[in-house]
Chain A
Amino acid sequence: MLTIATGNKAVAAAIKEIRPDVVAAYPITPQTEIVEQIAEYVTSGELDSRYIPVESEHSAMAACIGASVTGARSFTATSSHGLFYMHEMVNWAAGGRLPIVMANVNRALGPGWNVWAEHTDSLQERDTGWLQVYVSTVQEAYDATLMAFRIAEHHDVLLPVMINLDGFTLSHIMQSLETVELGDFVPPINLPYAIDTASPRGYGTLTGPNDYFRFRWDMERSMRDSVAVIRETEDEFARRFGRSYGFTEDYHCDDADVVVVSMGTIGKEAEVAVDQLRREGMKAGSMRLRWLRPFPDLDLSGRDVVVIDRDYSFGFGGVLAQSLKAKCGVDPFSVIAGLGGQEVTYDDIASFVRDRRIGEEHWFGVSD
């Protein structure tokens, strides 16, 4: 069905289709609309989930963990400070191998208080063992949420998945949304080793130096195996519903001499900048990274790379820029732009490309 929706409403609509057993809810701007909309669905009877209005984000993730370990499907949504407040449990969910799905609406961190888009929140969770996907449109937020459950619950994965959408520039903007009849695209959850009182086990028992690393390696092995599961899931989604995705969304990259790499809604602005630069005769392209974990193999060799980081690791650099240096062997022009909702237009992005200084870092808006 074709409708219009905000990014937040699209995530909630996907949850209505997925029918999780348990939803834990705690409000935080700019995510609140997701849990409000789910509350509406539950109250009206459109969604038969147990809705737990928890007293904190730490408890939101703890409740999802408690539900998940019984073999139930669980979901929550958060943002920024909420994500950090639940940080301990974010780790616990992944270490416990629980296929929880969470939407994180990317937002900057205080102080000072700032509710606008930034990626630093989810990037600081990148080492927790969660799969992370970054979306750029309302439709993609919906589709990625549907696929997240199938990927997380796949027995080759059994790791939680975080769907990241930019605060306000995606969470609160209206775009067209084609909803789907899910059918059997996401099979019923079947968690191995779910709690069973007829077969009692200890979960998270004290684990010594001779065993602990084996569990960590198993997480990494599953993270690697998730690459194939993501591909297979996205291919099947394209076959059934006609929309295809990948680890990156590439725009005029094939013959490009210079490629803009970014995540989230800035990636859509970058496509407009590419059109403009191409009209000027420059062979520019845009590569929007969708999956940050697992991090894909990217072929960026032989061209200039301009990376836009909507984040920063103090004393080190833009997280995406550093990741590309380490994983792809490129030395990009690293632009730090869009922090705390700083406006970044396609004109600005085109300027980054025209004025690129390969190997250097540039803070947009700060006079050098």
Chain B
Amino acid sequence: MTEIPKEEYILKCTSACAGCSSSLILRYVLKAAGEDTVLVIPACCTSVIQGIYPNTAMNVPIYNVAFAAAAACASGMSEAFAKAKKKTNVIVYAGDGGTVDIGIQALSGAFERNTNFLYICYDNEAYGNTGMQRSGSTPTGARTTTTPGGKMHAKKDLAGIVAAHNPPYLATACSAYPMDLFKKVKKALSIEGPKFIHVLAPCPPGWRYPSEQTIEVGKLAVKSGMWILYEREYGKVTINGPSKAAMIKPIPIEDYLSVQGRFKGITREAVDMLKSQAEKTAKHLKLEEEGIC
């Protein structure tokens, strides 16, 4: 049984929305990382959640930086710590917009340079901080304020893009499985070089479901195969427990879509696209796990 430290690094009374999974994710990330950690945060919900000057709700140093700059800023920080012979963890904690869209160039550069840091993308599948506009990570059919008729395009394959950089460690996680996340952060931080964790982060106001259902919605994402938990260590893929079961017998993705207002009125065609995307990802990961591709 994994021991979760009792220390809290997020203090009470943050300005997160009720049922926010991002603050739950960060809570476990910091428990795993411990106090010798610096967070680099580009513009995202966590810019707001951490509180207003002169206060901070985080008990680790936070460097807030411009939207596109997180991975590059972390590069400088990581190199400076290395020069000073410090072992401090440098963790970027960024939303999907700051990762798959505006921040992807800096992310790619930092991974190509083998920067020693951990990049965590908490993915609520839209620009949440500005009120839910579509991002490259918004899934097909989801309604946002800039896709009021539902998004026409597929969700960008972020993990695939990062995997193309051959990092020593890449994993996916979901806020509904905090123990899994905790272990992945621990493992990531034990490895030298660039590490990446892509965490699905259900968002009550953005996804339009009641705030007490955040854990349930996350579980439905995994059980339906819409989100697959896996690790890629030095290129070797391992599909993790809850997703193993889901791959054998997934629940219908309609069970996941129907609890969320953002998919209200979704077309049959869009549902089919989501299904085929999920099946394709699952099939590919399975083949990779078996060493076939």
- What are 22 A-B pairs at a CB distance below 8 A? A22-B76, A22-B83, A24-B76, A50-B79, A52-B113, A59-B75, A59-B106, A62-B106, A63-B75, A66-B73, A66-B75, A66-B80, A67-B79, A70-B77, A196-B61, A197-B35, A197-B36, A197-B60, A200-B35, A200-B62, A202-B56, A205-B52
A148 proximal to B (CB < 8 A): no
* Cβ contacts under 8 Å, A55 to chain B: 105-106, 108-109, 112
A62 touching B69, Cβ below 8 Å: yes
How many Å lie between the Cα of A59 and that of B74 in the bound state? 10
The smallest beta-carbon distance between A149 and chain B, in angstroms, is 16
A200 touching B106, Cβ below 8 Å: no
* Cβ contacts under 8 Å, B292 to chain A: none
A216 proximal to B (CB < 8 A): no
Q: Is the interface of B mostly helix, strand, loop or mixed?
A: mixed
A59 touching B72, Cβ below 8 Å: yes
B64 proximal to A (CB < 8 A): yes
* Cβ contacts under 8 Å, A316 to chain B: none
Q: Which of A54, A60, A66 contacts B63 (CB 8 A)?
A: A66
- Contacts A62-B66, A67-B80: A203 and B72 contacting too (C-beta < 8 A)? no
The smallest beta-carbon distance between A212 and chain B, in angstroms, is 9
How many Å lie between the Cα of A71 and that of B55 in the bound state? 22
Q: Would you give the 0/1 interface string for A130-158, flagging 1 where the beta carbon is closer than 8 Å to chain B?
A: 00000000000000000000000000000
* Cβ contacts under 8 Å, B80 to chain A: 21-22, 50, 66-68, 70-72, 74
Give the interface size class of chain B: 35 or more
A56 proximal to B (CB < 8 A): yes
B81 proximal to A (CB < 8 A): yes
* B contact set with A: CB distance below 8 Å: 35-38, 40, 47-48, 50-56, 58-66, 68-69, 71-84, 88, 105-106, 108-109, 112-113
Residue of A nearest to B15 (CB): A206
- Contacts A70-B80, A89-B66, A92-B65: A206 and B53 contacting too (C-beta < 8 A)? yes
B76 touching A74, Cβ below 8 Å: yes
- Contacts A58-B72, A204-B65, A211-B53: A66 and B82 contacting too (C-beta < 8 A)? no
* Cβ contacts under 8 Å, B64 to chain A: 202-205
- Contacts A53-B113, A203-B62, A205-B64: A66 and B51 contacting too (C-beta < 8 A)? no
* Cβ contacts under 8 Å, B54 to chain A: 205, 211
- Contacts A21-B80, A63-B79, A197-B60: A205 and B66 contacting too (C-beta < 8 A)? no
A52 touching B75, Cβ below 8 Å: yes
* A contact set with B: CB distance below 8 Å: 21-22, 24, 49-50, 52-56, 58-60, 62-72, 74, 88-89, 92, 195-197, 200-208, 211
B76 touching A197, Cβ below 8 Å: no
Most B-side CB within 10 Å, residue of A24, A52, A63, A201: A63
How many Å lie between the Cα of A148 and that of B247 in the bound state? 61
* Cβ contacts under 8 Å, A22 to chain B: 76, 79-80, 83
How many Å lie between the Cα of A89 and that of B53 in the bound state? 21
The smallest beta-carbon distance between A288 and chain B, in angstroms, is 35
The smallest beta-carbon distance between B35 and chain A, in angstroms, is 6
The smallest beta-carbon distance between A187 and chain B, in angstroms, is 17
* Cβ contacts under 8 Å, A206 to chain B: 47-48, 50-53
B79 touching A52, Cβ below 8 Å: yes
Q: Which of A53, A67, A196 contacts B76 (CB 8 A)?
A: A67
Most A-side CB within 10 Å, residue of B53, B88, B106: B53
Given contacts A50-B83, A202-B61, 11 further A-B contacts (CB under 8 A): A58-B69, A66-B80, A70-B84, A88-B66, A88-B68, A88-B69, A89-B66, A201-B61, A203-B63, A204-B65, A211-B54
Q: Which of A74, A200, A208 contacts B58 (CB 8 A)?
A: A200
Q: Which of B52, B61, B68 contacts A195 (CB 8 A)?
A: B61
B52 touching A64, Cβ below 8 Å: no
* Cβ contacts under 8 Å, B53 to chain A: 202, 205-208, 211
How many Å lie between the Cα of A65 and that of B80 in the bound state? 10
Q: Which of B36, B76, B83 contacts A66 (CB 8 A)?
A: B76
How many Å lie between the Cα of A206 and that of B83 in the bound state? 30
B73 touching A65, Cβ below 8 Å: yes
* Cβ contacts under 8 Å, B76 to chain A: 22, 24, 52, 62-68, 74
How many Å lie between the Cα of A207 and that of B59 in the bound state? 19
The smallest beta-carbon distance between B193 and chain A, in angstroms, is 15
Q: Which of B55, B63, B74, B88 contacts A204 (CB 8 A)?
A: B63
How many Å lie between the Cα of A108 and that of B155 in the bound state? 40
The smallest beta-carbon distance between B89 and chain A, in angstroms, is 9
A200 touching B59, Cβ below 8 Å: yes
* Cβ contacts under 8 Å, A208 to chain B: 52-53
The smallest beta-carbon distance between B59 and chain A, in angstroms, is 6
How many Å lie between the Cα of A69 and that of B88 in the bound state? 14
A205 touching B51, Cβ below 8 Å: yes
- Contacts A197-B38, A204-B65: A56 and B105 contacting too (C-beta < 8 A)? yes
* Cβ contacts under 8 Å, A21 to chain B: 79-80, 83-84
Most A-side CB within 10 Å, residue of B72, B78, B106: B72
* Cβ contacts under 8 Å, B88 to chain A: 197
How many Å lie between the Cα of A24 and that of B75 in the bound state? 10
How many Å lie between the Cα of A70 and that of B78 in the bound state? 9
How many Å lie between the Cα of A24 and that of B58 in the bound state? 29
* Cβ contacts under 8 Å, A89 to chain B: 66, 69
* Cβ contacts under 8 Å, B108 to chain A: 55
How many Å lie between the Cα of A68 and that of B72 in the bound state? 13
A63 touching B72, Cβ below 8 Å: yes
How many Å lie between the Cα of A67 and that of B84 in the bound state? 11
How many Å lie between the Cα of A196 and that of B52 in the bound state? 20
Residue of B nearest to A60 (CB): B72
